[in-house]
Amino acid sequence: MLLLLPGLGFLLLVGWQVAAATSAGTHLCSSSPVNESAVCASVESVSQEMVLEVARGQASPCSLDFGQYACAQSAWLQDLQDDFLISLYSCLTPKPVSAMDPEYSVLFFSKYDAKKLVAALTMFSQRFSYVPLSPEWNMIFINGLWEKMLQVPDIDSPPVLSQWVHEGLQPFLVEPKVFACLRAKNVFCETFQKIVAALNGIYSDLPVEQQRNLYTGIKYYLIEDGSNRKCYNAAVPGLNSTAWFENYLGAFLEHATVGDLQLFGDEATLQKFARDPVNIQMISNLTLLHETAVYYTLLLTSGPDFPLSSLPDRFVCYLSPSAVSNLSRDDALTLAQRISKNCPLNLTHRGITRDSAPSSLTTEELQVASSLVRKFEHFTPAILRALGQAAVGLSISDIENSISDKDLEASIAALGEVRGWNAEQSGTIINKLLSSGYQIQNGQSLAKLGSLVAGFNSSTLRSLSPEVILEAIKLPEFVQHIATLPSSLKMIFVEKISSSVGHPADLVKYIPDALASYIPKSLLVFGEEKPNILDLNNKKWTREQAAMFFSDVMKAEPDFSRLSQSVLQGFTCAATNEMEAERFQELAKVMKKKNVKLGEDQLSCLVKLVTLHGIPKDLDSYPKDLLLFLSPSDYAATGSCRQYFANIGKANLDVLQRESSQRKELLSEALACLKISSTQVNKENAEILGRLVCDLSGEYIRSSGGNLLKQLSQCDSFLPDQEEAIRSVISSGNTTFGAPAAWSAFTLNVLSGLIPVFDHSILQKIPKNALTLWLKNFAHDSALSREQLATIVEELLPTRHKRADGCPPNKQITDMVLNSDLMPIEYTAEELHTCLKNVSLDNHLPQILTYAFSIQQLTVLKSHLDETYPDGYPESLLRKLGSLVSFVTPEDISKWNITSADTLADLLKYEPADAQAAAIIRRYTDLGNALNANALNAIGTRYICLLNVTELNMIDPNSLKLASLNPSACSQLTKDILYPKAKRAFSDQHYLPAYYELIKPYLGGAPGMDLKALSKDNVNMDVSTFANLRRDSVLSLTISEVENLLGRNLGDLKKWQHKSPIWEWVQMQKQSELDKLNIGLTGGTQEGYINIVARKFESTSSASLGTVAMTLHLLPALLISFLMMLVLS
């Protein structure tokens, strides 16, 4: 039998707790055999009847102590119920640990039947899987379980081992100190190797989280004594095998970081391990972490005498430029073919959208491709075909000068399959093709271009006939390339397709999925036409688009389960008017199963429908986000308040506004439920609170130490006092991550959500190599913005700068340098200024502006462009400015020639400050350009409020029909100008249910007459929209009109009654009439009192004129009339 039990200790580490545990606590571990007579000599004896009473529930499990259970006869213990371990643990944890408890544990578990123990552990696991155990009792329990598992037959077989891993040991995955038991139990390397082999046999059956936890435990064992070469000694037989990765990590190597590998051995030793044939065979079938794969490949290729032909196929994707620098042309082509075959392109690289990332290749991939391409002076069709994906390394100069027009056209098919072209490369190829006479006469000739289509400029693509576009998008080989097109070209494709089809159903049918979200929502109104549900389900829609046809879908598809998540997210309150009440809950349950995400107004309506006939008793069957609109008491029939808040913690809390009363009330109720009376929150409660931790004040964060960091790293933003508290906790070093000075790149990756909070005092303590490695291997997958990454770059640059007389020889800026996203940390601002002289950035600007340059470095780049173009930037450059647009001045903008909406879109998509954006828009319109749909979409909701009256009046109503805007936050004057235009734009759809969704963003400018008409259409207006209507329009509405306008949302008026203009409207109404609404509104006029209505005139620059009700409650009507007659006489 394999001596497996001691090794199972490495199961006991949770992935979040990455800090190494100390050997403290080994006194809680003991080895067998246990002398039962000696152990039980001082234990009060217990009878079988006493144990039976506990088993039958006639006596409390706490009536006996741990020693009494341990010293009872084995047969008696078999009568205990499967949930007994839960009760025993609850009895033991309040008590202090004694020196005898480890012995009791070994004795107690040794008497348990193995099958019964697995059943009991399964129940224990279900109860405590997500609840941290007491560290001391965790150690004591696992001490006995280890010894018990020694006795289990076939424990080394995958099925038996899998049962223990999956069902028995889950709750023990919390405390890292249990690994101290490994040393106490003298587990040797030879035994541990067998343990890894056994676990390796079930690796593929384990969930990823369990794989990761197991790996962390293996790592703990291998580094626990601080040795750099644990279980390896070249001079000791049995420990001298260089197949170390296979022997001691196996498939768990997939979870090892570079930092981990460097803990296992020095570089010379690791290189021996990496080159061992057994290890090479193993890693050929593994998927390593990206940074680890790059490092492993470097270990293989950096030394002498390793032929690239021996490199496993999947590792050719991680080669460094130096590894390919000395290849012959033939070897370069062979390698290029292997890269094309084995290296799928990561289209989400850099963590930003394709529009913002000109190339989705890593720096190393791009540099390797460039190195391979440089082996050739001229590129024939045969060479370009052989280069395959490596052709992405072609420079602009190569394309213009080293490929003949004839050869370029002959190579279209090969080049069109290359992914990752940047805009300059694909644009240069397309321009060269078109100028040499290439004709796009049909869809086939367009589709043949493949990925090169991204190189079209807008005017050229618009010149193609709709028929050509429609034919091309029906070809699957072309459709796969559409996803990577920039937004401006996607919108043109949509324009062309929509102009060639006459009905929404046809548009939905033919549009490729990658273009669906770009269809103007007004074109998705089906009207009398019946939608094809299958076609709608096969596309990804925005919430606003799906709202256009949701009502039609409800009528056409009785089985909600057949609707896609994308379609269901379009739920509207108005669409439920014709649904049977009993189907509301069915709809909500389907939304839960399909993980549909809804907005606040949608959820507010849905919860009313679901609870129409009372609170359901199975609330866990509904979307978690619905609970945000219910209370713990509403949930009582489903579960406890702890369960309620555990669900709230996993819900999308951002549905509610950050400082809203609802969120504050939820947090207050959660703290009360969890009995958190002080400001200290433990890890168990932090897990339950989940996203609610984001609302805890700085005092809670400071008092709780590192307990909240896991949840805080998931928060989107922080208040100043929270940021200060996080910095205080991190700086103290009293967390599982230790002091910043000891952090690795992996630590930074785990804490990446908190990096924006770190100040200079923290960043300067983090090792520079950790920051550099994180930037190189992790930054592109983080959610941090370029500006946030720049703060790390600033820490890596020298604080004292030498003024350079010239550019140092090792700092010359080459194509290789410009293709490296680590360029910002390699040049100070002064070096950048000096070394950029005589360097053209035009072809590299979109690429390098995705790099994390500091403000000083960006200023240098801007100055370089100013020197190159003293009379103003050409329009071709404007579209490449990217983040530099934030550095331009009004004087710069006045020199620009902005002739197209596409250029306007490129300038505004990087969200410059309002003053700059307004100047850019003004320059665009001053040059005589129209504010058409494309221009309005470029301006978007973010900047629409910046338009002045002259610009607003330039807008044609038909342009609004194809634009996606929401001016509800604009001035009243802006809303008053845009509303009649929008009303005219959608006038042909005013009789359809979708009309309300179309006109809704513009209703802030609607006159009372139009709102009265809308009240007859069962629109179920949400109260937030109602509160933002024109004041005079609201005051003109009667009670019945407001009731009809709000429909199902009428009850929400009570929560909003003190917000203007709702409060003024309430004051104008008779209280007796308000009472008939039965929603608790107060503040109306009492019987015997009247309202005096006066005209309140406002300046023409403010909101539109309207009737303002002034209510006087002080005197009876008769007295008021008398006084007025007296005054008038």
Q: Residue 1107: helix, strand or coil by DSSP? A: strand
Predicted confidence at residue 21, as pLDDT, reads 33
pLDDT at 1097: 36
* Per-residue pLDDT, 943: 97
Burial of 953 (0-12, 13-18, 19+ CB in 10 A): exposed
- With residue 1093 as reference, give the H or E element that holds it: strand 1091-1096
Which pLDDT does position 1113 carry in this prediction?
42
pLDDT at 158: 63
Predicted pLDDT at 285: 93
Question: What pLDDT does residue 340 have?
Answer: 92
Q: What is the pLDDT of residue 934?
A: 93
User: According to the model, what pLDDT value does residue 150 have?
Assistant: 62
Q: Which pLDDT belongs to residue 802?
A: 63
Q: How far apart are CA 587 and CA 605, in angstroms?
A: 13
CA distance 201 to 251: 9
Spans of the chain below 50 pLDDT = 1-25, 173-174, 347-359, 1093-1129
Residue 815: predicted pLDDT: 83
Distance CA 382, CA 1095 (A): 83
Counted residue by residue, the chain has a size of 1129
Residue 888 pLDDT: 95
Contact 712, 742 (CB under 8 A): no
Question: From CA 416, how far away is CA 412, in angstroms rounded?
Answer: 6
* The pLDDT of residue 832: 93
The pLDDT assigned to 225 comes to 60
User: What pLDDT shows up at residue 1056?
Assistant: 93
CA distance 449 to 842: 24
SS3 state at 24: coil
pLDDT (0 to 100) of residue 1096: 42
pLDDT in the model for residue 370: 92
List of residues 6+ apart from 638 with CB closer than 8 A: 616, 617, 618, 619, 620, 644
Torsion sign over Cα 1062, 1064, 1069, 1074:
positive
Threshold 0.75, pTM exceeds: yes
Closest C-alpha among 390, 424, 391 to residue 407: 391
DSSP 8-class letter at 1005: G
Give the residue carrying structure tokens 């001035």.
971
- Are 1111 and 1085 contacting, i.e. CB atoms less than 8 angstroms apart? yes
Q: Which helix (H) or strand (E) holds 1109?
A: strand 1106-1111
Q: Can you give the pLDDT at residue 460?
A: 93
> End-to-end distance of the chain based on CA atoms, in angstroms?
115
CA 568 distance to own-chain centroid: 21
Please provide residue 1036's backbone torsions phi and psi, each rounded to the nearest 5 degrees: -85, -10
Chain-centre distance of CA 230, in angstroms? 38
Query: Based on the number of CB atoms within 10 Å of its own CB, is 505 exposed (0-12), middle (13-18) or buried (19 or more)?
Result: middle
Residues with Cβ within 8 Å of 1006's Cβ and at least 6 positions away in sequence, in order, are 979, 983, 999, 1014, 1029, 1030, 1033
